Amino acid sequence: MVEFGHEFRRKHFPLIEKDVVPINHGSFGVTPSSVIEYQKQRMEEEEKYTDAFFSLNSTEKYVEQLKQLGSYMGVDYRNFALVTNATTAVNAVLRSLPWDFSKDKILFHSTTYQACANTVRFLKDYFKLQYDVVELQYPLEDDEVLELFEKKLSTGEYKMCLFDMITSMPGVKLPYQQLISLCQKYNVWSLIDGAHAAGQVDLSFLDRLKPDFMTTNLHKWLFVPKTCAMLYVNPKHHDLIQTFPVSWSYGMKLIESPSTSQEVQHNENLLINKFMFVGTATYAQVLSVSEALKFRSDVCGGEDNIRKYQYDLQKRAIEQVKKVFGPGSESLQNSTGSLNPPGLFNVSLPFAEEYMPVLRNLQDDFGYFRVFKYKCDRKMLAENKAYAPFVIHNGKIWVRFSVNLYNELDDYSAGAASVKSVMEQVLHTELENLKLKA
Ligand SMILES: Cc1ncc(COP(=O)(O)O)c(C=O)c1O
């Protein structure tokens, strides 16, 4: 039986510097060194005879990766495109659909990842696409989340709903399957941001529930090298969707009444042919998808084994962090325990009443929050080498921790101590500054 924890880290993640406490897998992902070695070999292959690589073999190799991913996830690979990252996938969808700017409206939630929400804001500012926001203040029961969405969706005002499977900050799971059904009930297109999904939750629902669009990073939790994400497109939209940036495949259309087997194949492979070459870029990480999947099944013992280790460690890690953070510290959870995916949990950092003015500023002034966060991040990253992101949400400071196969309980003692001491120092300085200004 494979032993996870620090021995696993030494063996499979030796590239992580020895004095780093890696408690933030969620932001960018960390790749096993065997997969990185495989990726390097693919890069070398590209250089041996570049013309032949790109002109003769790249399509077949790309399709082979899609097939392996499809069979791993239990989804038809012809509904997949491989792109650089989740932000690019969201842009591909939002910026290639034929909106009616005189009336179309998008719904997203207040905790949407800012880069994706900004893409909608860009479409509003430049083209007058309308949007509306569902306010989510955690902790929330799944039913409460659904009620808040349904209240908006049932008005019939929306063309599309953009929602997360697992939100970034705080790191919480949404009832995404029910949200897909809600969108379908009210005839609203779903665009699902599953940036944290692959490698944390099962995705076989895609072909069953058939949302309109969904993306997931493969470089975060699936151990594929950076940068690689999957975009799922419902077959009914293969014709509509365009690559981002718009490129060679623009004008490639669905044949309306295919009569030959070639025409049928053209239609079935439309999404693949649109996205397989957008502009010159290395295929090295894309061609390493299969190696990452092999690592997960052969070395890690498969998805259930991986998740079991994460959930077991998560349970103990929450208690450990609460102990370090001190009295009043809470885990962000609802009554059914549905908020935490296997690899993420959030714990509140209590602070003394005297810091309330700083907290209010952090909550009300995003510019101030950014500067404050930069000060904290720099200390955690450069001085302590133990970094966890935090957010001010619903009147509390929530710190997000990640759990992966290379972690052990003492990572969370060291990580929580780093966050607590840095934040207390910076809060103190900020309070002094406010007093001086008053
Ligand atoms: C919910 C969510 N969406 C989108 C992204 C963007 O991912 P990327 O930077 O790989 O595009 C992230 C990154 O953390 C995320 O958490």
The tens digit of pLDDT for each residue in 381-431 reads 999 999 999 999 999 999 999 999 999 999 999 999 999 999 999 999 999
Environment class of 1 (CB within 10 Å of its CB; exposed 0-12, middle 13-18, buried 19+): exposed
Q: 212 in ligand 1 pocket by Cβ < 6 Å?
A: no
| Per-domain boundaries in the chain | 6-30+302-437, 35-293
Choice between 438 and 186, residue whose per-residue pLDDT is larger = 186
pLDDT value of position 438: 80
Using alpha carbons, select from 437, 394, 391, 399 the residue that is nearest to residue 417.
399
Q: What is the average pLDDT value for the chain, to the nearest integer?
A: 97
Q: 196 in ligand 1 pocket by Cβ < 6 Å?
A: yes
pLDDT class of 303 with cuts at 50, 70, 90 = very high
Cβ neighbours of 291 (radius 10 Å): 24
Query: pTM of the predicted model, to two decimals?
Result: 0.97
| C-beta contacts of 176-180 below 8 A and 24+ residues apart | 177/205, 177/209, 178/142, 178/146, 179/145, 179/146, 179/149, 180/205, 180/209, 180/211
Q: Best mutation site among 112, 113, 215 for ligand 1, i.e. most ligand atoms within 8 A of its Cβ?
A: 113
Q: 168 in ligand 1 pocket by Cβ < 6 Å?
A: yes
- Whether the predicted pLDDT of 295 surpasses 90: yes
Cβ neighbours of 202 (radius 10 Å): 12
Atom of ligand 1 nearest to the CA of 193: 3
pLDDT value of position 437: 86
Q: Quick one: what percent of the chain has pLDDT higher than 90? A: 98
Q: What is the CATH number of domain 6-30+302-437?
A: 3.90.1150.10
Q: 419 in ligand 1 pocket by Cβ < 6 Å?
A: no
Q: Which fold does the domain 35-293 belong to in CATH?
A: Aspartate Aminotransferase; domain 2 (3.40.640)
Amino acid code (one letter) for 186: Y
DSSP state of 252: -
pLDDT value of position 1: 59
Q: And the tokens for 120? A: 């909608």
- Whether the predicted pLDDT of 32 surpasses 90: yes
Closest CA to ligand 1's atom 16: 168
Q: 173 in ligand 1 pocket by Cβ < 6 Å?
A: no
Q: 195 in ligand 1 pocket by Cβ < 6 Å?
A: yes
Q: Lowest-confidence range among 57-61, 79-83, 237-241, 386-390?
A: 57-61
Dist CA 146 CA 315 (whole Å): 26
Closest CA to ligand 1's atom 12: 195
Atom of ligand 1 nearest to the CA of 167: 1
pLDDT value of position 57: 86
DSSP state of 225: P
Atom of ligand 1 nearest to the CA of 26: 14
Environment class of 302 (CB within 10 Å of its CB; exposed 0-12, middle 13-18, buried 19+): exposed
β-sheet bridge partners, residue 346: 400
H-helix segments, 141-235: 142-153, 176-185, 205-209
